[in-house]
């Protein structure tokens, strides 16, 4: 009844809690995790992570232990508290609003009729390749996971299942995006048949 009434944290807070639910980590580790495929759908800089961790600790959702290190800087290793676990659970059950998409490339596509078709096609091919590369990364990530996790990959109460679900989303997203770029490039090139 004390801290549960007001939704203490921003979405970033829950991203951090979700990572800490798996294992203890420092602010630095958390920031790294948000760069990897797993945190691919919620990015943050370290300058956002450290203050957020402080807020979560004030709210009693996480706690830290200072680890003194000889040849490296000391670090604060954070862990989830029982209240933190409860807050995470409550967030999972709450309604989720649709994200507002903002994609500059799609916005450019809307005005692409004003551009030089050949140059635009080249641009789209580049983006197709970028997304194809991301796709390949996710796919190899899933392969590795199969080796590591085995059957746990398909068990909804296993932490591996969470990674699995996110990777699947990444694979679908990048595949679709890459194909769209390719399709657009082909449309644009269709016009320029006679060029040498």
Partner DNA sequence: CCATTCATGTAATCGGTTACATGATTCT
Partner DNA sequence: AGAATCATGTAACCGATTACATGAATGG
Q: Taking CB under 7 A as the rule, does residue 71 contact DNA?
A: yes
CA distance readout (Å), 94 to 31, 46, 87, 97:
25, 27, 11, 10
Considering only 75, 91, 149, 182, the residue that binds its own copies (CB under 8 A) is 91
What are residue 75's DSSP bridge partners?
A: 67
41 binds DNA (CB under 7 A): no
Work out the burial of residue 181: count CB atoms within 10 Å of its CB; fewer than 13 is exposed, 13-18 middle, 19 or more buried: buried
DSSP label of 5? S
| Tokens describing residue 191 | 């016009």
From 11-19, 51-59, 67-75, 141-149, span contacting its own copies (CB under 8 A): 11-19
Q: How far is it, in rounded angstroms, from Cα 194 to Cα 196?
A: 6
Residue 63 in contact with residue 25, Cβ under 8 Å? no
Q: Cα 159 to the chain's mean position, in Å?
A: 16
Choose the stretch contacting DNA; rule: CB under 7 A; options: 41-49, 82-90, 148-156, 160-168.
41-49
CB of 33 to its own copies, least distance (A): 11
Q: Report the site for its own copies in 152-181 (rule: CB under 8 A).
A: 154-163, 165-166, 168-169, 172-173, 175-177, 179-180
Is residue 28 part of the contact set for its own copies (CB under 8 A)? no
Task: Name 132's Cβ contacts closer than 8 Å, sequence gap at least 6.
Answer: 174, 178
Considering the complex, what minimum distance in angstroms separates the CB of residue 24 from DNA?
11
Q: Contact region for its own copies (CB under 8 A) — 24-32, 48-56, 67-75, 116-124?
A: 116-124
- Interface ranges with DNA (CB under 7 A): 10-12, 26-29, 31-32, 43-48, 50-51, 53-54, 69, 71-76, 100, 102
């Amino acid at each position: 009844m004390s801290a549960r009434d007001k939704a203490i944290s921003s979405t970033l807070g829950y991203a951090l809690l979700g990572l800490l639910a798996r294992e203890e980590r420092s602010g630095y580790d958390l920031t790294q995790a948000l760069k990897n495929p797993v945190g691919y759908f919620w990015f943050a800089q370290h300058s956002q992570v450290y203050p957020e961790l402080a807020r979560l600790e004030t709210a009693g959702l996480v706690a830290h232990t200072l680890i003194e290190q000889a040849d490296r800087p000391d670090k604060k290793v954070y862990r989830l508290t029982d209240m933190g676990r409860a807050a995470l659970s409550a967030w999972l059950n709450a309604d989720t609003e649709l994200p507002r998409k903002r994609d500059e490339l799609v916005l450019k596509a809307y005005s692409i009729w004003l551009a030089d078709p050949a140059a635009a096609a080249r641009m789209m091919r580049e983006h197709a390749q970028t997304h194809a590369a991301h796709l390949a990364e996710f796919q190899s990530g899933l392969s590795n996971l199969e080796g590591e996790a085995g059957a746990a990959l398909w068990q909804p109460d296993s932490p591996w299942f969470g990674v699995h679900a996110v990777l699947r989303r990444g694979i679908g997203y990048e595949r679709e995006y890459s194909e769209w770029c390719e399709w657009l490039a082909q449309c644009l090139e269709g016009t320029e048949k006679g060029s040498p």
